[in-house]
Amino acid sequence: MDRRVTVGDIAKELECEVVAGKSCLDNEVSFGYSSDLLSDVMAGAGPGDVWVTVQVHQNIIAVASLTGISAIIVAGGAAPADETVLRANEEGIPLLTTAKPSFEVAGRLYSMGIRGRVKT
């Protein structure tokens, strides 16, 4: 990535609604990760990642907290459960939503200079 990208930059560029974690929009994003399988995210995502998913239950917040993810983008117009929003605020994890499909979100993140984490 050529420049520092924050969660706030992503929210603005992708026209996302910030539904939780508004005080953490300065979190820096290092890489991107896209998956709807929680065990895959736990194994492959890392600190500073922005995670794109369509999952809306509160377990996504636990996974984000465990891995150190900078933010979660819920794509495809899915609405996070109230418990998920509450938990995201408690954990200080920005939770963004968009009607854009996951494929488009990933493409837009890529155009911002965010690349996928290479597993070693």
In the chain the domains, ranked by start, together with CATH numbers, are 5-111 (3.40.1390.20)
Mean pLDDT of the chain: 95
Q: With a cut of 90, say whether residue 117 has pLDDT above it.
A: no
pTM over 0.85: yes
Q: Is 77 left (phi over 0), alpha (psi -120 to 50) or beta?
A: left
Q: Assess contact for 104 and 30: CB atoms under 8 A.
A: no
Please, which residues have CB within 8 angstroms of residue 118's CB and are 6 or more apart in sequence? none
Q: How many CB atoms sit inside 10 A of residue 39's CB?
A: 9
Kindly report, residue by residue over 36-88, the tens digit of the pLDDT: 999 999 999 999 999 999 999 999 999 999 999 999 999 999 999 999 999 99
